């Protein structure tokens, strides 16, 4: 495409040095950035910013005028589905929006925009940027389960030194099953293999993958988990993955398996997971995502002694803004050169 009139607007909080990285991609690109119109970050990569921030009517007008001048947006307006819906209606020359989230399909769906409206511009996600922190969190969950950290923490809190020492499980030589061998799944597999684990997993399109013992579709999951010492879910929430981990799958698991979820909470039937924890089918669960978030106060998962509840923060890292900016810059170069953008949100299936 020609770059004569390409304008990019920064719609979400971003440090000035990262904005300069975007400006440096191509001299013909204009980047609109006004930190006065953006809520301050409360922590690194706080894309929504301080919820108490309010623009004056004059600032609100300037914010939307800025966004409506651009063909490309960095972030959803106000980091919200409503902001996406509004800019889609008010900006007739919008060509592409880059979303901060890896699983931005949910926000696109929540915008209420129909397929026809969504086909007028592209939405890319930050998928892959979070692969390393999520993979590290998955390894942390596996190690917690194998090394009995929950029991040790309880004994420490009670100042108990057990008379009988309990052995822990070796990660090396154990078997891991990963649902979703995409970027997050493959990064998890890389770390797991470095720890000496044998890795199998699921993928929509079955193909041989170097270093992966066996690859099946989700239809073969029950057979895979029967031999798994640990299971990690990285799958997004879609109609096809809803409650994939149900009573049948948990019952098929090797007794005492460790379960980690860094995908989406809707992929797991939480009642079935609780039952599996109660009967020992699952020995430990490390959960970063839940069907309803925040996790309802009456959920039995809060108080279960063999569950770690993480408030959907495992993807966060201090490097996130830099990593997302670098991903956007790479995408921008591809966009300017007329190439195919990676990680596009499907306007029909929303993943």
What residues are labeled active site? 264, 293, 312
> CA-CA distances (angstroms) from residue 21 to 2, 25, 332?
20, 7, 11
Q: Which residues contact 72 (CB under 8 A, 6 or more apart)?
A: 6, 7, 8, 9, 95, 96, 97, 98, 332, 335
291, 264 Cβ separation under 8 angstroms: no
**Closest among 159, 207, 145, 162 to 182, alpha carbons compared:** 207
Cα(181)–Cα(187) distance, rounded to whole angstroms?
A: 9
108, 133 Cβ separation under 8 angstroms: no
Q: Exposed/middle/buried for 283, CB within 10 Å: 0-12, 13-18, 19+?
A: buried
Cβ neighbours, 10 Å, residue 326: 15
**Closest among 177, 288, 306, 167 to 229, alpha carbons compared:** 177
Instruction: Say whether 118 sits in a helix, a strand or coil.
Output: helix
Question: Can you give the three-state secondary structure of 25-88, one letter per residue?
Answer: CCCCCEEECCHHHCCCCCCCCCCCCCCCCCCCHHHHHHHHHHHHHCCEEECCHHHCHHHHHHHH
User: Which phi and psi angles does 57 have, rounded to 5°?
Assistant: -55, -40
Instruction: Say whether 259 sits in a helix, a strand or coil.
Output: strand
H or E stretch including 136?
Answer: helix 131-146
CA 108 to chain centre: 15
106, 85 Cβ separation under 8 angstroms: no
66, 35 Cβ separation under 8 angstroms: no
């Amino acid at each position: 495409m020609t770059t004569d009139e390409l304008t990019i607007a920064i719609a979400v909080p971003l440090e000035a040095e990262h904005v300069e990285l975007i400006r440096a991609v191509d001299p013909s690109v204009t980047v609109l950035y006004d930190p006065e119109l953006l809520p301050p970050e409360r922590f690194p990569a706080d894309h929504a910013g301080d919820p108490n921030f309010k623009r004056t009517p004059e600032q609100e007008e300037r914010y939307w005028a800025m966004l409506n001048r651009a063909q490309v947006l960095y972030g959803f307006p106000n980091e919200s589905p409503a902001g996406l819906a509004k800019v889609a209606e008010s900006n007739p020359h919008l060509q592409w929006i880059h979303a901060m989230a890896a699983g931005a399909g949910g926000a696109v769906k929540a915008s209420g925009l129909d397929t026809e409206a969504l086909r007028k511009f592209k939405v890319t996600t930050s998928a892959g940027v979070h692969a390393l922190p999520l993979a590290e969190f998955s390894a942390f969950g596996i190690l917690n389960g194998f090394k009995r950290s929950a029991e040790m923490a309880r004994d420490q809190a009670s100042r108990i030194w057990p008379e009988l020492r309990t052995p822990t499980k070796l990660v090396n030589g154990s078997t891991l099953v990963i649902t979703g061998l995409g970027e997050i799944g493959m990064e998890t597999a890389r770390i797991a293999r470095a720890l000496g684990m044998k890795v199998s997993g699921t993928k929509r399109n079955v193909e041989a993958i170097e270093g992966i013992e066996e690859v099946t579709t989700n239809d073969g999951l029950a057979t895979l988990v029967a031999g798994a010492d640990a299971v990690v879910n990285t799958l997004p929430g879609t109609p096809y993955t809803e409650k994939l981990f149900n009573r049948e799958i948990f019952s098929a698991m090797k007794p005492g398996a460790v379960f980690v979820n860094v995908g989406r909470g809707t992929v797991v039937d939480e009642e079935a997971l609780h039952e599996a924890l109660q009967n020992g089918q699952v020995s430990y669960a490390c959960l970063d995502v839940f069907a309803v978030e925040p996790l309802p106060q009456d959920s039995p998962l809060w108080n279960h002694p063999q569950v770690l509840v993480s408030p959907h923060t495992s993807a966060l890292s201090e490097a996130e803004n830099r990593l997302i900016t670098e991903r956007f810059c790479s995408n921008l170069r591809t966009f300017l050169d007329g190439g195919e953008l990676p990680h596009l949100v499907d306007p029909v299936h929303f993943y």
